[in-house]
Structure 1
Amino acid sequence: MDDRRIRVLQSFPEPRPTTNPYLIQLVASLPEDVEVVTFSWFRALLGRWEVFHVHWPETLLHGRTPMRALVHQILSLAVLLRIKVTRRALVRTMHNIAPHEQRSRRARWILALFDRWTTLTIDLSAVTIGSLGRPSLLIPHGDYADWFAGQKRETEVSGRLLFFGMIRPYKQVPALVSAFVALSDPDLSLRIVGQPHSAELAAAIETARAGDGRVTIEFGHASDARLVAEVTSAEVVVLPYREMVNSGAALLALSLGRPVIVPESVTTADLGAEVGPGWVELLDTAEPQVSPATLADALHRLRSAASQRSTAPNLQARGWATIGAAHAAAYRAAVRRVRWNFAPRTMSRN
């Protein structure tokens, strides 16, 4: 067994209030023999590390202006060349099969290099295994039970539906609002809480609301306390994404004891089987986006299954202690592969 300390560069900077809690919990869960370095371009290009752990490679290529984006793309290419030339390990967590937003031709070329030069993938669900043709380790997304343990819960409001999180085009929030407005039940309400990706998307949501007083909107980043209050006061969380390979938002809602309505996929069906009956209801994806009928049907099925629902969803397979140990094993396997061309088998952490 290799007990030597290993140094891992993560692809995100020093955590801020808006940093994804998944990333913070991951770092906290790693054993002492893994030293974590947070991202900066200086550290990536000149710092000492053996593994570069990348979560969403497209974020490294982003810039607020076209010139900044170009600079970040050139720097990303330089980091990739450093990895290739100096035989460092590139580990990728497969949060998605592909980026959700369109990218320039140059960005797509650099992302293809990320794919080609990945040493090992960490797959959060079986759906992405083998998508890059690289050795992989199946390590599920951890829960949020401990993260929100000290936060005050609110009383559930019957009939309240909630969407929360970063509002991006693929999440189809305007379509959700339009579908809800078409429902005539006066006892239903819809809350939209999150930061829109663009002013145009925010305007589309406001337009879809069409003056319906049952729909309330709070744009902007939600603090942990605000998020817990919103989720626990809802009867159900609705996440009508165009597709769902993995979803931290669904696990967050389940961790706070609220059922979810999500698009039908292999991942969401597996999640429903894992957590137990009555916790995960699937939206029919035969239509390109959520409709009044599919939303009403999913809500009816969820309510009908309430009597089968346990006190809390079963999230035992998503504890962070074992997830941290599994990540440490993945880092070491990746280092062995680049040094000795040793390819680990595809494995799961159960």
Structure 2
Amino acid sequence: MNSSLAVLQSFPVPRSTTNPYLVQLARGLRELPGVTVVNFSWRAALLGKYDVFHVHWPEILVSGSSPLKKLVRQALSVALLCRLALTQTPVVRTIHNIELPKDISVLEVWLLRLIDRRTTLYVRLNSETPLPKGQPSVIIPHGHYRDWFSRFPKAEKIPGRIGYVGLIRRYKGVEDLIKAFRQTTISHPGLTLRLGGNPSTREIGEKIAALAYGDDRIRLNLEYVSDAELVETITSSELVVLPYRFMHNSGGALAALSLDRPVLVPANKVNQALSEEVGPGWVFQYTGALTPESILQTLASLAEDAPRTRPDLARRDWRNASSAHKKAYEKAVAYAGQAPQLQKAMRP
């Protein structure tokens, strides 16, 4: 193994809209001795020199904003897979989502399956993430956002303010949050809801606006939310509600906890483990559909017994996460090119 490890990340040079998870990972890796981070471009991927390819959200590689751009990217993805196979370059893949995206083509599914077949080592963000049988993996918890948000001013908490911020996709159930909140109009007219995020489709945005129409307690911002506005929205809220219809790994929950605000999330094993990790009074769970009673009971619990210490996010320090990624890359290089029997013997 080379003393210096060059890692091609599947995201380009970060912009203001780049997921902070990716930016913090790249930054942390660059601070480690012996690691070089190469940001993604098709030229770098096909012609550049690197020891490991680390892919996040592989569906981005095979999609495009127009049919022509999509076709070109798919052809380039095939070329990249051929290069990786010929050079026996290991592929490390972080599993952010456990299901394939909805409404993608048969060709896209086929290409994503090919990327899976080329994957040497998987990075799981929690122990509940399923894997293809027999595949080697490591668990590296999603890092926190405390350092990332520290440069932005915090707002004063507003009693009775409920917040939601983040991309608005169908599976995130924002419609359910608005419906449940509107049922508190008579019993709790002093509650307010602040909701910000860019809808994934015009249809979803129009539906959200229609559901909120006529309730002056609801404030909408249906567009991209800057980090400064995200911090202001979360810290002004007494409770952040994430009404996801399916939740596995949630950067939104960690964003709220990083800013010392409690969250209400669907009950599942991942969220129960997060609750136990960060300490009492920070992660509240509801079973089934989100109801106004779930929101009101959580607010009552906070009023009666607010947490006295910050959430414990020690396991999610980016220095630890960066070092763990470096070890994962080294393990993937050790696996690459070896006989299947030896790879199997080395698996944890």
Q: What's the TM-score bracket when you normalise by the shorter of the two chains?
A: over 0.9
CA contact (8 A) 1:90 1:120 kept: yes
Structure 2 unaligned segments of length 5 or more: list them: none
CA contact (8 A) 1:123 1:140 kept: yes
- 2:10 alignment partner in structure 1: 11
CA distance in 1 between counterparts of 2:133 and 2:259 reads 34
Structure 1 unaligned segments of length 5 or more: list them: none
- 2:222 alignment partner in structure 1: 219
Q: CA shift at 1:298, angstroms?
A: 4.4
Structure 2 residue 175 is the aligned partner of structure 1 residue 174 = yes
Moved more, 119-128 or 170-179: 170-179
- 1:261 alignment partner in structure 2: 264
CA contact (8 A) 1:162 1:192 kept: yes
- 1:291 alignment partner in structure 2: 291
CA contact (8 A) 1:100 1:170 kept: no
Structure 2 residue 228 is the aligned partner of structure 1 residue 229 = no
CA distance in 2 between counterparts of 1:234 and 1:74 reads 46
Letter in 2 for 1:159: G
Question: Alignment partner for residue 251 of structure 2, among 248, 251, 276?
Answer: 248
- 1:186 alignment partner in structure 2: 189
Superposed, 1:84-233 pairs within 5 Å as 84-131=85-132, 133-184=134-185, 185-233=188-236
Q: CA shift at 1:303, angstroms?
A: 4.6
CA distance in 2 between counterparts of 1:65 and 1:198 reads 15
Superposed, 1:292-331 pairs within 5 Å as 292-304=292-304, 306-307=305-306, 309-331=307-329
Letter in 2 for 1:178: K
CA contact (8 A) 1:175 1:208 kept: no
Q: Deviations over 1:99-128 (max 9, x none)?
A: 343311111111111222210001110011
CA distance in 2 between counterparts of 1:302 and 1:126 reads 29
CA contact (8 A) 2:247 2:266 kept: yes
Over 3 Å counting, the alpha-carbon distance change for 1:173 and 1:216 in structure 2 is same
- 2:332 alignment partner in structure 1: 334
CA contact (8 A) 2:98 2:130 kept: no
CA contact (8 A) 1:164 1:193 kept: yes
Over 3 Å counting, the alpha-carbon distance change for 1:186 and 1:217 in structure 2 is same
Letter in 2 for 1:8: V
Q: What SS does the aligned partner of 1:81 have?
A: helix
Question: Alignment partner for residue 239 of structure 1, among 238, 242, 248?
Answer: 242
Q: What SS does the aligned partner of 1:225 have?
A: helix
CA contact (8 A) 2:242 2:263 kept: yes
- 1:72 alignment partner in structure 2: 73
Q: CA shift at 1:328, angstroms?
A: 0.4
CA contact (8 A) 2:197 2:225 kept: yes
CA distance in 2 between counterparts of 1:100 and 1:260 reads 26
Q: Deviations over 1:4-56 (max 9, x none)?
A: 11111101111000011111111111112111110111111111112110110
Q: Deviations over 1:183-232 (max 9, x none)?
A: 22112111111111111111010111131111110122222222111111
Over 3 Å counting, the alpha-carbon distance change for 1:322 and 1:129 in structure 2 is farther
CA contact (8 A) 2:160 2:299 kept: no
Over 3 Å counting, the alpha-carbon distance change for 1:211 and 1:100 in structure 2 is farther
Q: Deviations over 1:264-305 (max 9, x none)?
A: 1111110000000110011213x4xx333444444445555x
Q: What SS does the aligned partner of 1:43 have?
A: helix
Moved more, 111-120 or 124-133: 124-133
Q: What's the % identity of the aligned pairs?
A: 44
- Compute the TM-score of the two structures, normalised by the length of structure 2: 0.93
Cα RMSD over matched residues?
Answer: 1.7
Q: What SS does the aligned partner of 1:119 have?
A: strand
CA distance in 2 between counterparts of 1:79 and 1:176 reads 42
- Compute the TM-score of the two structures, normalised by the length of structure 1: 0.92
CA distance in 1 between counterparts of 2:300 and 2:109 reads 42
How many residue pairs were aligned? 340
